[in-house]
């Protein structure tokens, strides 16, 4: 896992390089999904 930080020290981006890393984050409840709500035909535009 890699974390990119700002000068103030807060995390900006988090990269998970493998499935065990992702599963570990899921187990402790830090992954939250925010679906884009777009259709496959027009992925760039939200439908809501």
Please state, in angstroms and rounded to a whole number, the distance separating the CA atoms of residues 28 and 5.
21
Indicate whether 11 belongs to any domain.
yes
Q: Please list the ranges in the chain whose pLDDT falls under 70.
A: 1, 3, 9, 11-12, 48
**Global confidence as pTM:** 0.45
The whole-angstrom distance between residue 31's C-alpha and the CA centroid of its chain comes to 7
- DSSP letter assigned to residue 13: E
Domain that holds residue 32: 2-42
Indicate whether 17 belongs to any domain.
yes
Please state, in angstroms and rounded to a whole number, the distance separating the CA atoms of residues 21 and 14.
11
Give the chain's domain count.
Answer: 1
Indicate whether 7 belongs to any domain.
yes
| pLDDT number for residue 27 | 92
| pLDDT number for residue 47 | 78
Indicate whether 10 belongs to any domain.
yes
């Amino acid at each position: 896992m890699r974390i990119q930080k700002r000068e103030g020290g807060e995390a900006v981006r988090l990269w998970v390089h493998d499935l065990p890393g992702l599963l570990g984050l899921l187990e402790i409840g830090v992954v939250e999904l925010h679906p884009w709500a777009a259709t496959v035909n027009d992925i760039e535009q939200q439908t809501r």
